[in-house]
Amino acid sequence: MSEPMRQSTLTCPGCGHSSIETMPTNACVYFHECAHCGLLLQPRPGDCCVFCSYGSVPCPPVQLQKPCCG
């Protein structure tokens, strides 16, 4: 894979709401507020960001099997 996917569908573990979000390539996203219920998503233990925990696609560094921010 030469270019990582930049979009991932985040699914709130609280209410099940999904939203398509664009992932940064130069930073981890540690927090994301659900637009539906307001729950503040945080990475699960062992994950580097909310995309790795709740996304349909992991963050770009993980996709490329490179070190991440976490």
Kindly report the pTM of this predicted structure: 0.89
pLDDT score recorded for residue 24: 92
pLDDT score recorded for residue 70: 52
Per-residue pLDDT of the chain (70 residues; tens, 9 = 90+): 589 999 999 999 999 999 999 999 888 899 999 999 999 999 999 999 999 999 999 999 999 888 776 5
pLDDT score recorded for residue 66: 85
pLDDT score recorded for residue 1: 54
Torsion of CA 38, 42, 45, 51, to 10 degrees: 110
Nearest to 57 by CA among 14, 25, 10, 18: 10
